[in-house]
């Protein structure tokens, strides 16, 4: 089952532990500037901390725009083939999320390859801001939220073991038969 | 890594072996390589800073605000590495606030960026001809004049410089108007609100016409045995995550301390007169969490994320946003001033951050004025006609601006406790300060170890060196003085070691993280096998060194006493009502303390020890 790296910016604290583990796993060095995930911190307009990482787009702009066919895909995971890459940076500027990175010590651009199916940043994140989820689960939180926020819900109060509780429900459509 | 001569040195990681000397006056920049003996003895961070400051005062008479004062910024050998909370860096100088040794560490990731630019220590002296900032882009270093930064707030200036350099991800440490105007307790700010807050380092930058330091560093950090570090660190991160208070700590951070301190009866209340604040529930961590907090922040590589971003969503301070408040700020502007409106505390925090001044000192001295006016110790005329009352928020903001602009009474307050006492000697007994540094937000009357910690801290009455109050309260009052003195010395040795290594003390003090792990980290990084005990010995030497610096400025036993009211003014309420410290007990513990430190009865480091700090160091 294809899995995706999902980011929850509201949980991110900007600690950059994800960047550290990525650089160690990917290049064997302690250098957050060599990681394929980057936490962007914007303040104060707006106030947000958001990890930027490749979304493994199915219709990948980086792949479409690569003039040498250096963007390769295996089991739905995209990576850059260092042999074919001419480092023209076309992929870097075509990625709508800016999730392909450069470093002066490294000849070719680099991007997240999901650590071959076991992304280290996910297990390292102390805030659970990074999740590795089956594709069909993506958007589920938003769907749940949308349901819970449904404005036409009604409430009934009741008492259980001496405690006051509220139960919310959506009543059935009554139609216009009452008129 | 071309800068690291791996084959020749025994220390095989942790350093780029480079101290960057910047002469702002001559606009000269020199790279000086240091040797292994220096790295091994002084480790980094505050250790490097203390040695460079010591060398400087041997050569010349140093006025804290003179061009000759050296400002040292040093991240330490563990800074920026994959281990818990490695985002600390030390700012060290002769303090304009106290006139003696001063240092203050900064969180965030400014130091990490400096380290990644290949710099183990940045030493700045001289005075720029016009308002400037330093731009370090890996090996390229420039002094850039920019008069347009004049009068800009700390965070505002950070934004302007990022825009000018065209890089949102560089790190910028700035001063605000307070620093430019040489307010003695001006701070240095980075990462939108992480401060090197105490001892007035911001004023040192101001005196050098140095508005900011901007850095971009992209180098690999030298680590001898990365797999070993990785193994130790993974276990460390896991042990922190497993702590039962881990999530609670992420939610509240240091704001969680408010309830503890109020229940323990040691909350600074009404200028340290009382220890319990009746409205504490209105300004505690739960209040923050439920109404104000909009995000978590953390320093580099820290899983604990103690930082809180707070926003005021309604009322007259609506739209105010700040990274904070932390415990200290909340107490010094809350209970200490009788303020029970959490929005006002957020506002005060934001105003101080933007003006670039230390919230602890600001809250402390405004509290002094409130008490002084209540007791008729100073007249309304002295205060420019301002009517100060406990809880009067508007006047607090007015005073903060007057201090930063040095207008009217603000000009006196801007000189800190020492200036205030000079102008109004009658206020001496009601100011809580040691050596000119105002006391931070823990009462010391009922815990003699805390009083000793404040009194013998090398920078003045700050809790950073020894925070023993919780342990003493837990152990009970009958614990022998000997044990209490030992505890203070242990804190004063371990806590500064964190500042030498470039890591934060909070994993240890708040979540019980095993301090022995730092020896493992150091060994993995440098390739030199050490025990914690060996590292502590080095930290202990630095404590002697900072004392030796202070002795040059005339510090001895008479300066090692806690604030006067600790002995004279009992609290009227709370669990410790009626208690004060006995002078004879304090004299006794001070004797024990000196003896255990190997200092003389007058609190002096012995001459043969001082000589060991005169080892030569390459400097321009």
Residue-by-residue DSSP string for chain A: --EEEEE-GGG-----HHHHHHHHHHHSSB-GGG-SEEEEEE-SSS-EEEEEE----SS-HHHHH-TT--EEEETTEEEE-TTT-----HHHHH-TT---B--TT-SS-B---GGGG--HHHHH-TT--EEEEEGGGTTHHHHHHHHHT-TT-EEEEEEETTEEEEEEE-PPP-TTTT-
B468 in any annotated domain: yes
B584 in any annotated domain: yes
B528 has pLDDT over 70:
yes
The stretch B106-113 carries a mean pLDDT of 97
Residue B540, domain extent: 448-511+531-614
* CB-CB under 8 Å, A44 with B220: no
B208 and B253 housed in the same domain: no
Domains in chain B, number? 3
B396 in any annotated domain: yes
* CB-CB under 8 Å, B295 with A10: yes
**CATH number of the domain where residue B417 is located:** 1.10.569.10
B463 and B550 housed in the same domain: yes
**Mind listing the pLDDT tens digit for each residue in B336-353?**
999 999 999 999 999 999
B122 and B98 housed in the same domain: yes
Q: What integer pLDDT is reported at residue A176 of this predicted model?
A: 61
- Partners of A13 on chain B (C-beta within 8 Å) are 250, 295-298, 305, 307
**Mind listing the pLDDT tens digit for each residue in B367-411?**
999 999 999 999 999 999 999 999 999 999 999 999 999 999 999
Q: How far apart are the first and last CA of chain B?
A: 25
The stretch B300-320 carries a mean pLDDT of 96
Write out the E strands in B62-180.
71-74, 89-94, 101-106, 121-125, 132-137, 140-145, 171-174
Q: What integer pLDDT is reported at residue A177 of this predicted model?
A: 57
How far CA B126 is from CA of A110, A128, B144, B273, B356, in Å, comes to: 43, 47, 15, 43, 22
Q: What integer pLDDT is reported at residue B1 of this predicted model?
A: 43
Q: What angle do CA B80, B84, B86 make, to 5 degrees?
A: 25
B6 has pLDDT over 60:
no
* CB-CB under 8 Å, B109 with A16: yes
Q: What integer pLDDT is reported at residue A178 of this predicted model?
A: 53
A106 has pLDDT over 80:
yes
Question: A29: distance to nearest CA of chain B, Å?
Answer: 6
A62 has pLDDT over 70:
yes
The stretch A149-178 carries a mean pLDDT of 82
B513 has pLDDT over 80:
yes
Q: Quick check: B342 and B291 in contact, CB under 8 A?
A: yes
| Angle, helix B342-355 to helix B393-405, in steps of 10 degrees | 0
- Partners of A127 on chain B (C-beta within 8 Å) are 250, 296, 303, 305
Q: What is the mean pLDDT of chain B?
A: 96
Q: What's the distance, CA B32 to chain centroid?
A: 27
Among chain B residues, the shortest Cα distance to A126 is held by: B303
**Mind listing the pLDDT tens digit for each residue in B435-486?**
999 999 999 998 999 999 999 999 999 999 999 999 998 887 788 999 999 9
Which of A41, A48, A104 is nearest residue B218 as measured by Cβ atoms?
Answer: A104
Question: B57: distance to nearest CA of chain A, Å?
Answer: 37
The stretch B135-141 carries a mean pLDDT of 97
Query: Which of B414, B437, B460 lies at the terminal end of a domain, its last residue?
Result: B437
Residues of A with CB under 8 A from a CB of B: 10-17, 20-21, 24, 28-34, 38, 40-44, 47-49, 103-105, 124, 126-127
B499 and B565 housed in the same domain: yes
Q: What integer pLDDT is reported at residue B31 of this predicted model?
A: 96
Q: What integer pLDDT is reported at residue A152 of this predicted model?
A: 83
> Which residue carries 């009474």 as its tokens?
B409
Q: Quick check: B146 and B133 in contact, CB under 8 A?
A: yes
A128 has pLDDT over 50:
yes
Residue A38's DSSP bridge partners are: A52
* CB-CB under 8 Å, B303 with A126: yes
Q: Among the listed ranges A150-159, B101-110, B133-142, which one has the minimum average pLDDT value? A: A150-159
- DSSP-derived pairing of the beta strands B194-196 and B188-190: antiparallel
The stretch B503-520 carries a mean pLDDT of 96
B259 and B345 housed in the same domain: yes
Question: A62: distance to nearest CA of chain B, Å?
Answer: 23
Joined together, the tokens standing for residue B573 give: 């309420």
B409 and B549 housed in the same domain: no
* CB-CB under 8 Å, A29 with B298: no
* CB-CB under 8 Å, A44 with B303: no
B600 in any annotated domain: yes
- Partners of A28 on chain B (C-beta within 8 Å) are 226
B568 in any annotated domain: yes
B501 and B567 housed in the same domain: yes
B559 in any annotated domain: yes
**In the β-sheet with B140-145, what is the strand arrangement from edge to edge?**
B140-145, B132-137, B210-216, B171-174, B188-190, B194-196
Confidence of residue B186 (pLDDT cuts 50, 70, 90): very high
B82 in any annotated domain: yes
**Mind listing the pLDDT tens digit for each residue in A83-95?**
999 999 999 999 9
Question: Mutating which of B153, B246, B305 best tests the A interface, going by the most A Cβ atoms within 10 A?
Answer: B305
What are the backbone dihedrals phi and psi of residue A118, each rounded to the nearest 5 degrees, phi first? -140, 70
Q: What integer pLDDT is reported at residue B477 of this predicted model?
A: 74
* CB-CB under 8 Å, A13 with B298: yes
DSSP string, B493-559: HHHHHHHHHT--SHHHHHH---TTHHHHHHHHHHS----HHHHHHHHHHHHHHHHHHHHHTT--GGG
The stretch A155-179 carries a mean pLDDT of 81
Question: B319: distance to nearest CA of chain A, Å?
Answer: 11
CATH 2.40.128.30 fits A3-143, yes or no: no
Q: Residue B378 in 3-state DSSP?
A: coil
Burial of A118-141, coded b for 16+ CB within 10 Å and e otherwise, reads ebbbbebbbbebbbbeeeeeeeee
Which of B155, B221, B297 is nearest residue A30 as measured by Cβ atoms?
Answer: B221
* CB-CB under 8 Å, B250 with A15: no
Q: What's the distance, CA B370 to chain centroid?
A: 26
Query: Which of B437, B466, B483 lies at the terminal end of a domain, its last residue?
Result: B437
- Partners of B168 on chain A (C-beta within 8 Å) are 40, 42
Q: What angle do CA A24, A26, A29 make, to 5 degrees?
A: 35
Interface A-B: count of C-beta contacts within 8 A:
92
- Partners of B298 on chain A (C-beta within 8 Å) are 13-15
B211 has pLDDT over 80:
yes
The stretch B253-267 carries a mean pLDDT of 95
Q: What is the interface pTM, i.e. ipTM, of the complex?
A: 0.94
B274 and B310 housed in the same domain: yes
A172 has pLDDT over 90:
no
B613 has pLDDT over 90:
yes
Q: What percent of chain A has pLDDT over 90?
A: 71
Write out the E strands in B286-332.
293-297, 307-311, 321-323
Count of CA atoms in the C-beta half-sphere (13 A) of B131: 18
Which of B82, B112, B192 is nearest residue A43 as measured by Cβ atoms?
Answer: B192
Burial of B102-137, coded b for 16+ CB within 10 Å and e otherwise, reads bbbbbbbbbbbbbbbbbbbbbbbbbbbeebbbbbbb
Residues of B with CB under 8 A from a CB of A: 80-82, 109, 112, 116, 155, 168-169, 191-192, 217-221, 223, 226, 229-230, 237, 240-241, 250, 294-305, 307, 309, 311, 321, 323
**Mind listing the pLDDT tens digit for each residue in B419-449?**
999 999 999 999 999 999 999 999 999 899 9
B175 and B38 housed in the same domain: yes
Which H, E and C letters describe B178-240, residue by residue? Answer: HHHCCCCCECEEECCCEEECCCCHHHHHHHCCEEEEEEECCCCECCCCHHHHHHHHHHHHHHH
B162 and B43 housed in the same domain: yes
B544 in any annotated domain: yes
Among chain A residues, the shortest Cα distance to B169 is held by: A40
Q: Residue B121 in 3-state DSSP?
A: strand
Q: Quick check: B342 and B288 in contact, CB under 8 A?
A: yes
pTM above 0.90, yes or no: yes
- Partners of B241 on chain A (C-beta within 8 Å) are 126
Which of B192, B241, B301 is nearest residue A20 as measured by Cβ atoms?
Answer: B301
Query: Which of B416, B437, B458 lies at the terminal end of a domain, its last residue?
Result: B437
> Which residue carries 């007990």 as its tokens?
B585
The stretch B183-206 carries a mean pLDDT of 97
Considering Cα of B92, then B93, then B98, then B101, what sign does the dihedral take?
positive
Question: B567: distance to nearest CA of chain A, Å?
Answer: 43
* CB-CB under 8 Å, B301 with A17: yes
B287 and B347 housed in the same domain: yes
Q: Residue B171 in 3-state DSSP?
A: strand
Question: Mutating which of A11, A17, A28, A39 best tests the B interface, going by the most B Cβ atoms within 10 A?
Answer: A17
Q: What integer pLDDT is reported at residue A174 of this predicted model?
A: 67
**CA–CA gap between residue B548 and residue A17 (Å, rounded):** 39
**CATH number of the domain where residue B478 is located:** 1.10.599.10
Q: Among the listed ranges A152-161, B133-142, B263-272, which one has the minimum average pLDDT value? A: A152-161
* CB-CB under 8 Å, B82 with A30: yes
What residue segments make up the domains of chain A, in order of their start?
A: 3-143
Peptide bond into B516 cis (omega under 30): no
Q: What's the distance, CA B57 to chain centroid?
A: 22
Among chain B residues, the shortest Cα distance to A19 is held by: B301
- Partners of A29 on chain B (C-beta within 8 Å) are 220-221, 226
Q: What integer pLDDT is reported at residue B7 of this predicted model?
A: 57
B195 and B253 housed in the same domain: no
B98 has pLDDT over 80:
yes
The stretch B226-231 carries a mean pLDDT of 98
**Mind listing the pLDDT tens digit for each residue in B297-307?**
999 999 999 99
Residue B196's DSSP bridge partners are: B188
């Amino acid at each position: 089952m294809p899995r995706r790296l999902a980011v929850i910016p509201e949980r991110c604290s900007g600690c950059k532990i994800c960047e550290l583990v990525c650089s160690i796993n990917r290049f064997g060095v302690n250098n957050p500037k060599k990681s394929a995930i980057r936490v962007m911190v914007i303040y104060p307009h707006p106030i947000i901390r958001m990890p930027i990482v490749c979304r493994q787009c199915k219709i990948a702009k980086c792949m479409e725009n690569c003039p040498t066919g250096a963007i390769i895909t295996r089991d739905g995971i995209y990576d850059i083939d260092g042999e074919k890459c001419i480092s023209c940076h076309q992929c870097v500027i075509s990625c709508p999320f800016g999730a392909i990175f450069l470093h002066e010590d490294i000849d070719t651009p680099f991007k997240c390859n999901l650590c071959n199916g076991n992304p280290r940043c996910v297990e390292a994140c102390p805030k659970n801001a990074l999740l590795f989820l089956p594709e069909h689960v993506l958007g589920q939180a938003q769907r749940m939220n949308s349901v819970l926020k449904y404005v036409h819900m009604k409430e009934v109060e009741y008492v259980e073991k001496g405690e006051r509780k509220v139960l919310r429900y959506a009543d059935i459509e009554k139609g216009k038969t009452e008129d | 890594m071309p800068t690291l001569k791996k084959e020749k040195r025994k220390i095989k990681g942790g350093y780029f072996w480079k101290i960057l000397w910047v002469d702002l006056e001559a606009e000269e920049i020199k790279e000086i390589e240091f040797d292994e003996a220096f790295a091994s003895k002084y480790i980094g961070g505050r250790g490097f800073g203390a040695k460079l400051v010591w060398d400087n005062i041997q050569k010349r008479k140093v006025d804290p605000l003179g061009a000759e004062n050296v400002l040292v910024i040093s991240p330490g050998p563990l800074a920026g590495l994959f281990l818990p909370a490695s985002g600390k860096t030390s700012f060290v100088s002769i303090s304009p606030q106290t006139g003696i040794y001063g240092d203050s560490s900064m969180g965030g990731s400014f130091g990490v960026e400096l380290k990644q630019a290949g710099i183990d220590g940045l030493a700045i002296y001289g005075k720029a001809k016009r308002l400037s900032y330093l731009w370090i882009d890996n090996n390229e270093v420039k002094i850039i004049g920019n008069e347009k930064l004049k009068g800009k707030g700390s965070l505002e200036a950070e934004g302007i410089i990022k825009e000018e350099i065209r890089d949102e991800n560089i790190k910028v440490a700035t001063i605000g108007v307070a620093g430019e105007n040489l307010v003695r307790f001006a701070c240095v700010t980075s990462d939108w609100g992480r401060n090197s807050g105490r001892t007035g380092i911001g004023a040192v930058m101001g005196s050098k016409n140095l508005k900011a330091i901007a850095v971009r560093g992209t180098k690999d950090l030298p680590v001898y045995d990365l797999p070993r570090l990785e193994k130790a660190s993974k276990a460390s991160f896991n042990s922190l995550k497993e702590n039962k208070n881990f999530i609670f700590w992420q939610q509240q951070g240091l704001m969680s301390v408010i309830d503890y301190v109020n229940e323990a009866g040691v909350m600074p209340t009404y200028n340290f007169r009382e220890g319990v604040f009746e409205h504490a529930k209105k300004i505690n961590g739960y209040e923050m969490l439920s109404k104000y907090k909009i995000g978590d922040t953390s320093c580099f590589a820290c899983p604990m994320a103690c930082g809180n971003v707070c926003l005021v969503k309604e009322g007259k301070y609506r739209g105010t946003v700040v990274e904070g408040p932390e415990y200290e700020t909340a107490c010094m502007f809350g209970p200490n001033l009788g303020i029970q409106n959490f929005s006002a505390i957020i506002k005060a925090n934001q105003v101080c951050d933007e003006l670039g001044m230390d919230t602890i000192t600001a809250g402390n001295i405004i509290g002094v004025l409130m008490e002084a006016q209540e007791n008729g110790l100073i007249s309304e005329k002295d205060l420019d006609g301002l009517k100060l009352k406990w809880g009067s928020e508007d006047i607090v903001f007015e005073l903060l601006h007057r201090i930063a602009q040095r207008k009217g009474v603000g000009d006196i307050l801007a000189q800190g406790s020492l200036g205030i006492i000079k102008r109004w000697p009658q206020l001496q007994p009601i100011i809580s300060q040691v050596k000119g540094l105002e006391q931070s937000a823990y009462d010391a009357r009922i815990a003699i170890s805390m009083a000793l910690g404040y009194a013998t801290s090398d920078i003045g009455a700050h809790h950073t060196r020894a925070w023993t109050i919780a342990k003493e309260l837990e152990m009970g009052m009958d614990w022998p003085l000997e044990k209490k003195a030992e505890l203070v010395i242990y804190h004063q040795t371990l806590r500064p070691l964190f500042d030498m290594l470039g890591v934060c003390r909070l994993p240890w003090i708040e979540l019980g993280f095993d301090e022995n792990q730092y020896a493992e980290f150091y060994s993995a990084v440098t390739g030199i096998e050490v025990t914690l005990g060996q590292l502590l010995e080095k930290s202990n030497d630095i404590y002697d060194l900072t004392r030796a610096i202070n002795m040059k400025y005339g510090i001895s036993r008479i300066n090692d006493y806690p604030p006067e009211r600790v002995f004279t003014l009992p609290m009227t309420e709370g669990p410790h009502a009626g208690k004060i410290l006995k002078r004879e007990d304090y004299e006794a513990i001070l004797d024990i303390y000196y003896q255990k430190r190997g200092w003389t009865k007058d609190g002096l480091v012995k001459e043969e020890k001082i000589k060991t700090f005169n080892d030569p160091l390459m400097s321009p």
